[in-house]
Amino acid sequence: MTFSPDTPPEPEAATTRRDDLTQILEGRLEPGAPDWVYLPVDVPPGVAELAVRYDYDRPATPSGVPGNSLDIGVFDPRGHRVEHPAGFRGWSGGARDAFVISASDATPGYLPGPIRPGTWHIALGPYTVAPQGLAYRVEVTLRPGEPGQPFVPNPAPLRATGRGPTWYRGDLHTHTVHSDGVREPAELVAAARSAGLDFVVSTEHNTTSAHGIWGHHVPDDLLVVDGEEVTTRNGHLVVAGLPAGTWIDWRFRAVDGVLPRVTRRLHGFGGLAIAAHPFCPYVGCAWKFGFADVDAVEVWNGPWTPDDEVSLRQWDAALVASGAGGRWLPAVGSSDTHAHDDAVGLGQTVVWADDLTRDAILAGVRAGRSYVAESAAVEVTFEASAAGRTAGIGERLPVGSDVPVELVVTVRGVQSGFVRFVSDEGTLAQLPLPKPTGTGSGLASSGDSRAEVDGQAEVEVEAGIEAGRITWATTAAVSKYVRVEVRHTSPQPTVFEGMAAFTNPIFLDAEDCPAEQR
């Protein structure tokens, strides 16, 4: 999770007219204030535009003591009850201090539509409150007039031009100016294409305003999947595969028992629930819901950090308890890009899918047929074979408990590093990637060739591109599953090595062992 120091451009203030109606709402919040505070605003008939601007005090606090941070959004007269989405009209959190809504247009983060007469509610979210308290001021301006032409949504297609069954690369967690990112949607598309991605998931914080505009920007060969980052006070949930315009309410905590209902609703759409950056150190970001009601966990978030290392180990520990045929959580990786300096596709999830469609990509992620890489330059293949059978990433290999299982991994795009085979017992082996053959820039003459290195690692050349090929052997009696990590070699001693890629596991199911003992 990263926070950008940049602020998206604010909406231009419209000229105040004589017939404008302005209300000033002021108040004070103390430490321990409710998560949400609602300020009623009466809107008469004939209003064409609603404009809101707010501010609050920011007193100095000692080191280690949170200061004031106040989020904002709005609901129309259809209601603001939790889990009742009809009245939701937008949310910008703390990313901007003003917004405007009309029938034909709205500030990013907010939904264009009629300014319905009745009682609207400004929603304030005191994210943190300083010991001195938080004084706020909200200015609401109602501008009468004709409603104008209604907004016509143009969502992204559910299918892009694909390559049939193959590996597709994507970023499952991205932000634009429609929440707290700095990129325009067109800039995100350009960055994704430059990074060699096939798909991105649009996951703005607590709003769906971007869903209606992707059709204006997406090219034929890039898939944009609608989603949302549901930013609760007990962790962030990335949802992927929402029907365009479908909103998931974020106003709940772990003790409220809402998450199972959210997941069931999401599954009804064919979507996925992903626990985001579970060990993020920021207030409200760490995942506190457990993992029974999610479909995957975001192990890699942005540049590889100690937070990701802890997430990897926690995820691996959960795999141990999966059991043969049992439910297990796939790992994914994303950039969580906000700022221009946040590289789109670092990390990225590489998914085996039947085609470049929303349903096919989400099915591959759900099945764990994926690995995570730092860039499109890094390619990994991993298979386990025994007794004439072969299984790939995310699959299960039925095999006799003492039958030798050959593990084969190939790596492209990592110049110096090592491969680690990891099972439920821990590290089975850690082997250096073979050195390039010296043909320059990782390229060699076309054709196939192999050069032995220590009997376990070799250089393989296919279509002129070098790949490190590593083999190892185990049995189902020793390893209930095996996964692969590809690490960079650090020039200096460090508590953890940089990650180039890691795979989801291959499970080894001992056919001659009762399921409860596997």
- The model carries a pTM of 0.91
Mean pLDDT by 10 residues, the chain (518 residues): 39 61 98 98 98 98 97 99 98 98 99 98 98 99 96 99 99 99 99 99 99 98 99 99 98 98 98 98 96 98 97 95 79 99 98 99 99 98 98 98 98 95 96 72 31 49 66 97 95 77 97 62
**Based on the structure, what is the number of domains in the chain?**
3
Integer Cα distance of 333 and 500 in angstroms: 12
| pLDDT of the residue at 490 | 76
Q: What is the CATH number of the domain that holds 140?
A: 2.60.120.380
Q: How many helices (H) and strands (E) does the chain have?
A: 4, 29
Q: What is the CATH number of the domain that holds 425?
A: 2.60.40
Instruction: Judge if 357 and 383 occupy the same domain.
Output: no
User: Strands, DSSP E only, in 57-198?
Assistant: 69-75, 88-93, 98-102, 118-128, 134-144, 166-174
In a domain, residue 137? The reply is yes
Instruction: Judge if 389 and 358 occupy the same domain.
Output: no
Of 83, 117, 144, the residue at which a domain comes to its end is 144
In a domain, residue 8? The reply is no
Nearest Cα to Cα of residue 205 among 183, 182, 237: 237
Nearest Cα to Cα of residue 314 among 329, 302, 325: 329
In a domain, residue 475? The reply is yes
Instruction: Judge if 45 and 178 occupy the same domain.
Output: no
Of 376, 403, 420, the residue at which a domain comes to its end is 376
Instruction: Judge if 367 and 234 occupy the same domain.
Output: yes
Say if residue 321 is exposed, middle or buried (CB neighbours under 10 Å; 0-12, 13-18, 19+). exposed
Instruction: Judge if 235 and 215 occupy the same domain.
Output: yes
Q: Which domain holds residue 350?
A: 153-376
In a domain, residue 5? The reply is no
| pLDDT of the residue at 11 | 47
In a domain, residue 307? The reply is yes
In a domain, residue 6? The reply is no
User: Strands, DSSP E only, in 57-130?
Assistant: 69-75, 88-93, 98-102, 118-128
Instruction: Judge if 204 and 101 occupy the same domain.
Output: no
Of 376, 393, 410, the residue at which a domain comes to its end is 376
